[in-house]
């Protein structure tokens, strides 16, 4: 099988590379995820797309291939989807705080991302220290929502082939197109989803806006904190909200202008335990939530209310994890197999650049 014919198009360098049609992009990503490409081809694909950059058609095609291989969870109410793929590098990772503040208000929050990162502090680690382990099956997700807690599903469980593609980062030193589309996955059916996604570079933010408009998506797009989907606690970032592919100014906000005069009280260390303690102090009311984050919570809740009032779309059939029963348990996360280049040991000492 292989993907050499596609590498020949996308691998000609920044000036000579040709973009793929939507159907070609979907076929390429499907081949990679299904193990039809060699390790060398996968590495070439990752680097070629990193140099070339994705087009809108390529993002849509890649995302369709990924979502076709993801588990899907049932919900009769709108869900906030929070991808968390960057973690803390210099600032504390406050995506778990965003998730818990929303869940406290009764929102159904679905968080997905890796369990660990050798160079950063992941949301999974912070949630674990807060006493919220990863979901092991669909019943765990339902129980978390019933308790007004965010449900965290590891990527290795949500979409094992995608996790293997993400792990190529530890071989080539750079993120790849898998990281791009991971932030756009819609893992739920039966009700609408507000996908919260972040970008680092403004031109990619514009491309994501084009994706939301073209796909008729319900999405909140912002320049996140170190790649995370949470508003920077020090300065209000621009947030654009799309409902049914339409930009909705009432659930959007402009970036803060001028210099920052008041800095929030943040933990001095960014480790998981310290961040969890800080989150607890905010949830208990001992400390105030950073103003930009509190504003983001208000915008998300407003957008959810708009989704609640709209008809439910036709969704994909649920393919959720089976409920654990004697003799019918799911494979433990630690036992999920990986292969060669697509799952190198996590021993990197520095983080590759953000997207």
Q: Give yes or no: residues 18 and 113 share one domain.
A: no
Q: Give yes or no: residues 225 and 91 share one domain.
A: yes
Q: Give yes or no: residues 55 and 99 share one domain.
A: no
> What pLDDT is stored for residue 310 in this prediction?
81
Q: Give yes or no: residues 33 and 150 share one domain.
A: no
> What pLDDT is stored for residue 311 in this prediction?
67
Is residue 313 scored above 80 in pLDDT?
no
> What pLDDT is stored for residue 257 in this prediction?
83
SS3 63: helix
Q: Give yes or no: residues 149 and 206 share one domain.
A: yes
In degrees, to the nearest 5, what angle opens at C-alpha 256 toward C-alphas 253 and 257?
A: 135
Q: In the structure encoding, which two tokens stand for residue 112, read together?
A: 């997905």
Residue 233 confidence class, pLDDT cut points 50, 70, 90: very high
Q: Give yes or no: residues 104 and 186 share one domain.
A: yes
Mean pLDDT across 276-281: 96
Q: Give yes or no: residues 164 and 303 share one domain.
A: yes
Nearest to 289 by CA among 264, 309, 308, 261: 264
Q: How many domains is the chain partitioned into structurally?
A: 2
Determine the Cα–Cα distance for residues 80 and 341; give it in Å rounded to an integer.
Answer: 33
Specify if 315 maps to a domain: no
Is residue 317 scored above 60 in pLDDT?
no
Q: Give yes or no: residues 239 and 123 share one domain.
A: yes
> What pLDDT is stored for residue 343 in this prediction?
36
Determine the Cα–Cα distance for residues 47 and 201; give it in Å rounded to an integer.
Answer: 19
Phi, psi at 237, each rounded to 5°: -85, 165
Structural domain span for residue 291 = 73-257+264-308
Between residues 353 and 11, which one has the greater pLDDT?
11
Residue 260 confidence class, pLDDT cut points 50, 70, 90: low
Residue 14 confidence class, pLDDT cut points 50, 70, 90: confident
Q: Give yes or no: residues 300 and 280 share one domain.
A: yes
Q: Give yes or no: residues 61 and 80 share one domain.
A: no
Determine the Cα–Cα distance for residues 272 and 126; give it in Å rounded to an integer.
Answer: 5
> What pLDDT is stored for residue 100 in this prediction?
98
């Amino acid at each position: 099988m292989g993907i050499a014919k596609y590498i020949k198009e996308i691998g000609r360098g920044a000036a000579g590379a040709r973009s793929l049609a939507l159907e070609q992009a979907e076929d390429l990503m499907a081949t990679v995820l299904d193990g039809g490409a060699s390790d060398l081809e996968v590495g070439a694909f990752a680097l070629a797309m990193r140099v070339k950059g994705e087009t809108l058609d390529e993002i849509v095609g890649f995302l369709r291939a990924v979502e076709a291989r993801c588990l899907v969870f049932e919900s009769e109410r709108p869900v906030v989807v929070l991808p968390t793929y960057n973690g803390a590098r210099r600032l504390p990772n406050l995506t778990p705080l965003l998730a818990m503040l929303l869940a406290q208000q009764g929102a159904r929050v679905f968080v997905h991302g890796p369990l660990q990162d050798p160079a950063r502090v992941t949301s999974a680690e912070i949630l674990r220290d807060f006493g919220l382990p990863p979901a092991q099956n669909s019943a765990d997700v339902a129980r978390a929502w019933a308790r007004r807690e965010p449900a965290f599903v590891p990527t290795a469980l949500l979409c094992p082939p995608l996790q293997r593609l993400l792990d190529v980062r530890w071989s080539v030193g750079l993120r790849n197109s898998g990281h791009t589309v991971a932030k756009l996955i819609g893992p739920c059916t039966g009700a609408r989803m507000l996908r919260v996604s972040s970008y680092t570079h403004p031109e990619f933010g514009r491309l994501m806006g084009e994706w939301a408009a073209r796909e008729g998506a319900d999405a909140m797009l912002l320049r996140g904190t170190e790649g995370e989907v949470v508003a920077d606690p020090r300065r209000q970032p621009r947030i654009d909200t799309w409902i049914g592919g339409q930009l909705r100014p009432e659930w959007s906000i402009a970036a803060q202008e001028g210099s920052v005069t008041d800095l929030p009280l943040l933990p001095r260390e960014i480790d998981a335990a310290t961040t969890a303690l800080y989150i607890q102090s905010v949830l208990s009311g001992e400390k105030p939530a950073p103003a930009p984050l509190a504003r983001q919570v208000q915008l998300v809740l407003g957008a959810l209310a708009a989704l609640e009032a709209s008809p439910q779309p036709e969704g994909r059939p649920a393919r959720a994890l089976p409920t654990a029963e004697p003799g019918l348990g799911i494979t433990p996360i630690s036992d999920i197999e990986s292969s060669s280049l697509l799952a190198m040991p996590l021993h990197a000492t520095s983080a590759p650049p953000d997207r």
